[in-house]
Each structure stands twice: as C-alpha cells, then as structure tokens.
Amino acid sequence: MTERRFDRVIDFLGRDSFLEIRRANVTVIGLGGVGCHAAAALARSGIGNLRLVDFDKLTETSLNRNPMAGSWDCGGYKVDIVADQLRRTCPDTRVETVTEFFHSDTADSILKPVPDVVVDAIDSLNPKAALLEYCVEHSIPVFSSMGASGRRDPSLVRTGDLSRTRCCPLARQLRKYLRKRGITRGISCVYSTEPAGDHSLPPDMDDQIFHRGRIRNRIPSLIVMPGIFGYTLAGMVLDHISARREVP
C-alpha cells in the first residue's frame, strides 16, 4: 500500500476504522451511471476487496454517465472496463469481476462467498427486487439506489429506509413487491423527492418477466444525479463499515 495514499482517509475516519475498510469485502451489482461512481469512490477510499457484477456491454449512449470509459471501450463488458480502470488507479484494492445477470437463480453463485456489504445499483425492477429480497433473507447489509434518472436537483436527494421513501416510482414498486414477501423495512437507500415523471421508471416496470439480454428502453439522464447517488451509496457503505454512526 502506498504510504501516503490514504492519509486523508485515515485522518477522517481514524486508523482502526480504516483497517476495517481495508479488510472489507464489498460487492457492487450494476455498473451503470450509479454503480461505476460508487465503485470508484469505494476503491479510492481504500476498500480492500471489490466484487463487480454486471451482465451488460457498454454502449455509446452510456458514455455521458460513465467517468471511466471512452468511445474505444464501447462493445466491451462494463465489469471489465471498470475493473481495468480501478486496477490501474487503485492498485491497493483487489478487484474481482462477475459477468453474469443477477436474479434469484444466480444469487447464490454471485454472492458466494458472502460479502460484508452489497451495493445495489441495478436499474431494472425484477432483478433489483430479487437482490434486495435475497440480502434481507440472508442478513447481508445492502445499500440500494432508487431512481436517479430524470432528476436534476441535488438538494432533494435523501437517504433512509426504503419504507419511508416518497416521490419515487421505483421505490413504490419495490415496496409493493417486498411487502408481499413479508419485508417491510431494513433496506437503506438513496432516493430523490423530486418528481421525475414516467421516464424515471425502470425499463421493465410494465413487463414483470425480465429476459436476459433484452433491449431495454433508454432512460434520460445526465451524469450529475447518478454520480451523486453513487457517491452517496459509497459514503453510506464507508460509514457502515467504519461504524462511525448507525445507518438506518
């Protein structure tokens, strides 16, 4: 580990908390606009082990939200692009990649060995719901991103339990799904109270059967809000691991 690389992190969190961060195993699932920012922030902060999970390849329309990719990366798998960048810039973090679609039938293979924390940055309803249900049932701490697309006001970004979110169509659908399975609280998330209209809905909101590899609708967004959501998730994870405060 570079001697001075993490001095400011240690100054901020304290050496004991930083050692917990170095020992931590974090899995980030979904490497779109939110997930790639979260992964970068976690690696820059010294997380010891990162598992990156995503099934998709990078397209040109994703370049406006991805701080790690260029046009030459289009057509490559997102996990490989992000992992290569992190290995170059954050050599103190061990990066593992899983190029697999997350759902209930792949959960066991993707989340074994069990990580200390999961970051949910999936942008499709059913896989996201399956991940949250799995984490709750297996007592895995999970921090989840609600809808960042279609928003532009950073002052309306909030964190809290999924059960207390408002003004987010994605969160509303997730609450409905999870409530049917007896899950009513215990999922920390980042969300926005800014109304975003129908284009903030995940691409499979109306189709409850998600097919791997299907062409999904493009959701309008800038880099700003996905970045803020990603960095917020990273902050929540770091707080949880360093035990600086109780995360709801």
Question: Which of 1-10, 38-47, 197-206 has the least mean pLDDT?
Answer: 197-206
Residue 230 has pLDDT above 60, yes or no: yes
Q: Which pLDDT value is given to residue 247? A: 40
* Cα dist from 48 to 71, 90, 168, whole Å: 30, 10, 33
Q: Which pLDDT value is given to residue 212? A: 54
Q: Is 248 within the bounds of a domain?
A: no
Q: Is 31 within the bounds of a domain?
A: yes
pLDDT, average across residues 34-38 = 97
pTM, to two decimals: 0.90
pLDDT, average across residues 20-37 = 97
Share of the chain above pLDDT 90, in %: 79
pLDDT in tens, 187-212: 999 999 998 765 555 544 433 334 45
Q: Which residue range is the domain that position 106 belongs to?
A: 7-242
pLDDT in tens, 99-136: 999 999 999 999 999 999 999 999 999 999 999 999 99
Determine the 3-state secondary structure of 163 from DSSP: helix
Sequence-ordered alpha helix ranges (H) in 26-71 = 33-44
Q: Considering only CA atoms, which of 66, 40, 59 is closest in space to residue 119? A: 40
Q: Is 12 within the bounds of a domain?
A: yes
Total tally of structural domains belonging to the chain: 1
CATH of the domain at 48: 3.40.50.720
Q: Which pLDDT value is given to residue 202? A: 54
Residue 90 has pLDDT above 70, yes or no: yes
Q: Which pLDDT value is given to residue 220? A: 82
- Measured CA angle at 138 (ends 19, 93), to 5 deg: 30
Q: Which pLDDT value is given to residue 208? A: 38
Q: Is 1 within the bounds of a domain?
A: no
User: Looking at per-residue confidence, does 216 or 97 come out higher?
Assistant: 97
